[in-house]
Amino acid sequence: MNESTAYTPPAVWSWNKESGGRFANINRPIAGSTHDKDLPVGRHPLQLYSLGTPNGVKVTVMLEELLAAGHAGAEYDAWLVRINEGDQFGSGFVAANPNSKIPALVDRSAAAPVRVFESGAILLYLADKFGAFVPTDPATRAECLSWLFWQMGSAPFLGGGFGHFYAYAPSKIEYAIDRYAMEVKRQLDVLDRRLAESPFLAGDDYSIADMAVWPWYGTLVKGQLYEAGEFLQVHQYTNVLRWTDQIAKRPAVRRGRMVNRTWGQPDSQLHERHDATDFDTRAQDKLDAKAAQ
């Protein structure tokens, strides 16, 4: 009998703070703030509080795409939220997102600030606000929103399910890894079949649906998520690969994926973004070179 089948749940669950796992130090069964801390506010209409994980990248790509398309009202400050250090439990962040997860957006362009949380809601809010990257024709819009919400429902099985048990859990549990590997391969096949018949998820045009799906499934299919490329045989999903490579070439995507990123090559990291010139002057390789002078 292995460890997972030997466990008999007690009548009442209790919080075992020592349960281990990569994120054990920040996981807890209660919501709300743990400390008082206001959020910083910069000079732009949009204030983003985030980190360069796939959920964060969706939004920074959208903001960079909006700016590239000429929507000056999409100028933004991107502040770093270090989730491993518990920044998401500060009182200011919790006021912006009661769910204590990045990304959170505050739109200060009108008299009363508007808070938006959940990456899918942020994408849709920005798309509607600027009338961009969401189709207006009802049928294509329905297709776009279907794929957007597909991502929001599916990625937790990839990240919280497969990624957690394959890469982060303190022990490898065959049942859990099998269960989620099967689901993730099914999801990749769903995408592959859609992208065999259509250039982008909503149809002929790139949209918020692609921006939502690409940071998760594009990274996965390139073998860059959870070191699971071989395990999941990701090379089989040729249509997803074609679409992934095409999106990766977009200049706005190249910029967006750098924002709030604190790992990887120094020239791929822009910890905070407060100005368009920051990509040229404040990427980590530039800051490191200045510090070494």
Q: Which residues are near ligand GSH by CB under 6 A?
A: 26, 53, 55, 83, 88, 100-103, 118-119
Residue 38: what residue type?
D
Own/partner contacts of 95-103, CB < 8 Å, gap of 24 or more, are 95/39, 96/39, 96/49, 97/49, 98/31, 99/31, 100/31, 101/55, 102/49, 102/50, 102/51, 102/53, 102/55, 102/56, 103/48, 103/49, 103/50, 103/51, 103/55, 103/56, 103/58, 103/59
Order of strands across the sheet that contains 114-117: 76-80, 46-50, 104-107, 114-117
Q: Which is nearer to ligand GSH, 151 or 239 (CB)?
A: 151
Q: Which is nearer to ligand GSH, 93 or 133 (CB)?
A: 93
CB of 50 to ligand GSH, least distance (A): 9
Q: Which is nearer to ligand GSH, 85 or 174 (CB)?
A: 85
CB of 125 to ligand GSH, least distance (A): 12
Q: Which is nearer to ligand GSH, 23 or 175 (CB)?
A: 23
Q: Which is nearer to ligand GSH, 152 or 176 (CB)?
A: 152
CB of 130 to ligand GSH, least distance (A): 20
CB of 88 to ligand GSH, least distance (A): 5
Nearest to 54 by CA among 165, 214, 264, 208: 214
